[in-house]
Structure 1
Amino acid sequence: NDGWFGLGFAKSRGLGIVEARLEKAIVQYPGCILNDDNIVQVGREQSWSAATLIGAGAFLEDEEREKYGFASEDIQPVTLGIAEKMALGFGVQLTWENDAIEQVFKAAVKAWSKRLGVAA
């Protein structure tokens, strides 16, 4: 439940307004390595700029992607965050802080809107 918390008790839950401000957003790609400013998928020739938000569809072979209905071009350009190795030196994580987080969320909403066929 990391990041989740309850507000209020029993019947009072949901009867108020809560505002939160995110200070950091982290996206991790455990099956990748960082090569210069590129994210490279382990075991494949596929790579992306570290200034890219990569969806699940981008990691799958065509047959698997089609089974689950993921988009083939499941990527969105984003402001370059801090790109670094994950703990233990394997995997890549991108970190955005403060105002840059909004741009990452806008990119994610754009991708979902396209998937759902609605304007963002």
Structure 2
Amino acid sequence: MCFSALAIFIASLGIFALAAQSVRLRMKEIAIRKVFGAKGQQLIGTLSKPFFYMVFIANGIAWPLSCLIAQSWLESFAYRVPITALPFLVALVISLTIVAVTVCRQMIRAVGLNSVIKLKM
């Protein structure tokens, strides 16, 4: 459990750094969109979509592989246990929650900055 929590924490730090770098690189774009009248919710949605797509793609790759591996491992036991979709859905919800908290925090901070100052830089 401790090592799993540590791995999740390290992955969250990686997502945080990736979001911070993405915001830093797109700061002028954010400022221009704000000047042209984009709302904060629209900006957060637009900027965070790629991160959510990555989570869905990663889960799409991991689900079949983990299902096959777990099925072959469970076949070696005397009592058969069926594999349900519930653990996979829980993992998806947890990973989406972690990404939402991590990425949206960066995006909210970037949207709240003064656009004029960022355009002058």
TM score, norm. by length of structure 2: 0.24
Relative contact order, CA 8 A, sep 6+: which one is greater?
Answer: 2
The answer to which structure has the higher helix fraction is: 2
| Higher alpha-carbon Rg | 2
TM score, norm. by length of structure 1: 0.24
